[in-house]
Structure 1
Amino acid sequence: MNAERPPGAAPPPPRTGRRISAKAAVGGVFVAANFMAITDTTIVNVALPAIGRDLAVDASGLSSVNVGYLVALAVFIPVSGWLGNRFGTRRTALAALLLFTVASGLCATAGSLAALTGYRVLQGVGGGLLAPVGMTMTLRAFPVAERLRAQRYVMLPTAVAPALGPVLGGWLVDTATWHWVFLVNLPVGVLALLFGLCCLPDFPGPGAPRFDLPGFVLAGGGLAAVLYALTAAPDRGWGSGPVLVPLVGGVLALAVTVPWELRARHPMIDLRVAGDQLFRRTQLVLLPTGAAFMGALYLYPQFLQTGLGHDALHSGLATFPEALGMLTSSQVVPRLHDTVGPRRLMVAGGAGAASVMAFMATFTQTTPAFVPYPSMYLLGLSVGLLFASAQNAAFVTVPPARTADATTLLSMQRQTAAAFCVALAGTLSAALGADGTLAFRAGFLTLAALCLVASLLALRVSDRRVRDGYRAAGPHPAPEEPARLGPVGGP
């Protein structure tokens, strides 16, 4: 029997069309959107030489194509939580997905470098909103007890997209034109939009009555300046003005952000969420691991081509086993979580990743051709063990009303860490350019050290706090976070 509606209450949304499980709808849209956004960060790199030839731009000028995307991504990550709380996660997610899809089509029509850079900025705005709001919806749709099972699906973009991007990009450029690295987003984006319009639920947040403009300028501007400096550092040098000025300015802006946001009545990013001990400690584990993982995906294909003599296609194929390893771990972690405990899984994952990267540093031209394939599989398996365990543990004790702030903070940390490690890897390659093999070995050993640090930090994560969080959360979603399915035809 349906519950009687209280007098004066707003009528329920019209029941048009067939309803789909909120979990299935959120999972489907989040996987599709995140897959596009993550793939776009790697697929374009392969197409840059072809873009330069077609637009008559040299290699140094093409950096704006990626820098524009990364800077826009950084600026709009902080605002995603506010938009989700203010307008609802459904409207925010669909608007971001629409913007990203339209911008992808515009990128394919660009006839000049300026136009392509501008359209990439629009892509970055959509991408900066997609990941945090998608993760927020996932955390609100799935009760704590079901999140590990959900990770089997939501880890798909993180696992497959970075490795698939170079392979797909190389194939599209070789068999068609560079325009297709952007056009490939259109069918995925359109289908995800139609599905979302029909089925995506809304998870109202606590509301955001006033926009924190100073917080947005400080956090978004600071993060954008730091990412710009890190992206430019390998080519221009860390001591050059175009790198040093935005780097110092960005770091100062982020430093000022902390006291401002802690005092603000309605902060853009509620940094108090980091006061949750379990969330804070798992973030400290994820930070070096994510940086090392992205650094490895940057170094590895270059090492195979310049160090071991592989062509572009085979280097991409040799990278792909990483995705299979991460997918394997996403199936294994839910089965081991209760018996082994998240702390041991994180420690084992960090130590395993450190061992594999240290082993990669020993590769030479006499290394058997098959060795890189199982090595990348083991790296993906190890990193996946840590990622799946840490991401689940991170949000166990975070109240549902604060998930938007937590996911925004996590996305900012990840983006900065990944950019820093890629910049560090590029700097090592440039500094030791006379001996390419030495540069790659130094890079892999540095990444191995970061994974070892993550493994040691994981020792401080408490399995008891995770178990207590499960018991406190119970099997059902929090009553203050209802899922409302929007009507067919609009957000």
Structure 2
Amino acid sequence: MLDPTTRRLLPWLAAIAFFMQTLDATILNTALPSMARSLGESPLRMQSVVVSYMLTSALLIPVSGWLADRFGTRRVFMTAIVLFSLGSLLCALSPSLPLLVASRVVQGAGGALMLPVGRLAILRSFPRAELLKTLAFVSVPGLIGPLVGPPLGGWLVEVASWHWIFLINIPVGVAGVLAATRYMPDLRAPGALTFDGRGFVLFSLGLVMVSLALQGLGERAMSTATSMLMLAAGLAAMCAYWLHAVRTPQPLFGPQLFRIPTFSVGIAGNLFSRLGSGAMPFLTPLFLQVGLGYAPAKAGMSMVPTVIGAMVAKRFAERLISGFGYRNVLVVNTLLLGAMIAGFGLIGPGTPHAVILGHLAVFGVVNSLQFTAMNTLTLSDLGDATASSGNSLLSVVQQLSMSLGVAAAASLLLAFNPGAGRGEALLHGFHGTYVCVGLLSMMAAWIFFQLGRYERPAGPPTPGDDG
């Protein structure tokens, strides 16, 4: 049993971990153009700073639960905060883009463990009757981080330097470690622990090689032959993983997950729908600053309506899904989401700022409704035997899809601007990228159309995280 102080402060620890992650993810995007100038790079080639963090998180999320069970929630949670803070310091000290990307990998390793381990501690410390209220409290910083991140990033870039978007994590991290030593319970799983190490290696190799190959093909950072070889090797590793999974009693992600119809459709829809949603936090601050000439602080403040729209959507999402059904909501909303993304291709220097803010607010509503419907569809039919692996796979797919979305948007930008053009040419490049990303997102509607007209999870819809 937890003592009253630990019971009161444990949710705060998990909430702070969530806040650190969401703040870091959103504060960075506004600062990318300034970081590019400081490091002597093109703003259109800074996507590796974002992708490296997301890909590292995707790789380590599946192992977070096993590490916590093996070494204890307190030790792993503290290690995660230390890694995240150390990575932040290394980012701030990085004099070049390659070193900055390597530092983001360290930071991503910490970020991948913080929130899952914090949630696991709550799941094992609170009775089921109190879980909904406690987890809802933990999810609140997930909205606060994106609300304050872009304006804070723009302001720090203007009054100080981009280095401070990483340095502000360090005092929070120190406070988190000190609090965790006293208030994070040291929970471990009873009995023998098994982990599918071979499956983890195969799955991770496939994930990394396919992602790097696609990024290499888009950016031409590697030769076409090298990229194609890496793509073939990655696909072979993924095939080897699934052959391994059907022969292993306790695989990392079991094939039985995909015998659940709603989970299969939800995972596939998440993968393709989030390509567009994942590209937007990277693409839009860049568009506002590099394409429209906004100052960093103004660009950051312009992103706030997206978060406000997401908050508004949470108030009616459940009623809308219950009234019209998953297939109708997801098919129509996916098409609307793609149209909203493509609609940024109509925005130019003469577009009133109020119109841009309104467009971003409506996009936030549509985007949040998409996340809520997809996440609920994917998870609601999972039973006790599949809940852990299914939730982990959804988290991996979310991170992977967002990283691929960023890479795709950056590749399209470079394709439309082969000479890193400026002025009108650069603006047209952004417009073309938005249209292509929007059309790419719309294609996920075919996946959601595979749902039966009245098909829904067994349980009632509950709002999911906007992540």
Asked if Structure 1 and Structure 2 have the same fold, meaning a TM-score greater than 0.5 normalized by the shorter chain, the answer is yes
**8 Å CA contact 1:136, 1:407 repeated in 2:** no
Find the counterpart in structure 2 of residue 480 from structure 1: none
1:412 & 1:43 partners in 2: Cα distance?
Answer: 22
**8 Å CA contact 2:289, 2:295 repeated in 1:** yes
- Are 1:100 and 2:84 matched, yes or no? yes
1:311 & 1:294 partners in 2: Cα distance?
Answer: 23
- Are 1:249 and 2:233 matched, yes or no? yes
Find the counterpart in structure 2 of residue 479 from structure 1: none
> Once the 2 structures are TM-superposed, how far is the Cα of residue 262 of structure 1 from its aligned partner?
2.6
Find the counterpart in structure 1 of residue 465 from structure 2: none
Three-state SS of the structure 2 residue aligned to 1:367 is: coil
> Once the 2 structures are TM-superposed, how far is the Cα of residue 424 of structure 1 from its aligned partner?
1.8
**8 Å CA contact 1:281, 1:461 repeated in 2:** yes
CA deviations on 1:373-424 (whole Å, 9 max, x unpaired) are: 0111111101111212322332222123433312221122122212222222
Find the counterpart in structure 1 of residue 7 from structure 2: 20
> Once the 2 structures are TM-superposed, how far is the Cα of residue 139 of structure 1 from its aligned partner?
7.2
**8 Å CA contact 1:352, 1:379 repeated in 2:** no
- Are 1:176 and 2:147 matched, yes or no? no
Three-state SS of the structure 1 residue aligned to 2:430 is: helix
> Once the 2 structures are TM-superposed, how far is the Cα of residue 68 of structure 1 from its aligned partner?
5.0
Distance 1:175 1:367, change over 3 A: closer
> Once the 2 structures are TM-superposed, how far is the Cα of residue 364 of structure 1 from its aligned partner?
3.0
1:187 & 1:93 partners in 2: Cα distance?
Answer: 16
**8 Å CA contact 1:99, 1:123 repeated in 2:** yes
Letter in 2 for 1:440: F
1:360 & 1:135 partners in 2: Cα distance?
Answer: 37
Letter in 2 for 1:262: V
Gaps of 5+ in 2: 462-467
TM-score by length of 1: 0.77
- Are 1:442 and 2:467 matched, yes or no? no
CA deviations on 1:88-143 (whole Å, 9 max, x unpaired) are: 55654443234223432454455777765554332121122235445666777696
Residue 468 of structure 1: which of 434, 458, 464 is its match? 458
**8 Å CA contact 2:257, 2:386 repeated in 1:** yes
**8 Å CA contact 1:325, 1:381 repeated in 2:** yes
TM-score by length of 2: 0.80
Gaps of 5+ in 1: 1-12, 472-491
2:53 & 2:449 partners in 1: Cα distance?
Answer: 36
1:335 & 1:64 partners in 2: Cα distance?
Answer: 39
Taking the TM superposition and a 5 Å limit, the aligned residue runs for 1:324-363 are: 324-363=308-347
Letter in 2 for 1:249: A
Distance 1:385 1:193, change over 3 A: farther
Taking the TM superposition and a 5 Å limit, the aligned residue runs for 1:143-154 are: 154=139
- Are 1:126 and 2:110 matched, yes or no? yes
Letter in 2 for 1:327: M
1:368 & 1:48 partners in 2: Cα distance?
Answer: 24
**8 Å CA contact 1:70, 1:227 repeated in 2:** no
Distance 1:248 1:467, change over 3 A: closer
2:97 & 2:408 partners in 1: Cα distance?
Answer: 27
Distance 1:443 1:216, change over 3 A: same
- Are 1:374 and 2:358 matched, yes or no? yes
Three-state SS of the structure 1 residue aligned to 2:335 is: helix
> Once the 2 structures are TM-superposed, how far is the Cα of residue 292 of structure 1 from its aligned partner?
0.8
Find the counterpart in structure 2 of residue 475 from structure 1: none
- Are 1:225 and 2:222 matched, yes or no? no
1:336 & 1:64 partners in 2: Cα distance?
Answer: 38
> Once the 2 structures are TM-superposed, how far is the Cα of residue 453 of structure 1 from its aligned partner?
3.2
2:25 & 2:154 partners in 1: Cα distance?
Answer: 14
CA deviations on 1:46-71 (whole Å, 9 max, x unpaired) are: 556666777x7656998775565455
1:63 & 1:467 partners in 2: Cα distance?
Answer: 37
Distance 1:254 1:385, change over 3 A: same
Distance 1:48 1:374, change over 3 A: closer
1:217 & 1:199 partners in 2: Cα distance?
Answer: 34
1:84 & 1:274 partners in 2: Cα distance?
Answer: 26
- Are 1:430 and 2:417 matched, yes or no? no
Find the counterpart in structure 2 of residue 394 from structure 1: 378
Distance 1:402 1:295, change over 3 A: same
**8 Å CA contact 1:147, 1:392 repeated in 2:** no
**8 Å CA contact 2:78, 2:177 repeated in 1:** yes
- Are 1:458 and 2:448 matched, yes or no? yes
> Once the 2 structures are TM-superposed, how far is the Cα of residue 201 of structure 1 from its aligned partner?
6.0
1:104 & 1:460 partners in 2: Cα distance?
Answer: 43
CA deviations on 1:230-257 (whole Å, 9 max, x unpaired) are: 4455432575355444333323222321
Letter in 2 for 1:320: V
> Once the 2 structures are TM-superposed, how far is the Cα of residue 294 of structure 1 from its aligned partner?
1.6
Q: Aligned pairs, how many? A: 454
Name whichever of 438-447 and 203-212 sits farther off. 203-212
Residue 37 of structure 1: which of 10, 21, 38 is its match? 21
Name whichever of 259-268 and 459-468 sits farther off. 459-468
Residue 76 of structure 1: which of 50, 60, 70 is its match? 60
1:269 & 1:134 partners in 2: Cα distance?
Answer: 22
**8 Å CA contact 2:206, 2:238 repeated in 1:** yes
2:368 & 2:387 partners in 1: Cα distance?
Answer: 22
Three-state SS of the structure 2 residue aligned to 1:309 is: coil
% identical aligned pairs: 29
CA deviations on 1:317-338 (whole Å, 9 max, x unpaired) are: 2222111111211233245454
**8 Å CA contact 1:347, 1:458 repeated in 2:** yes
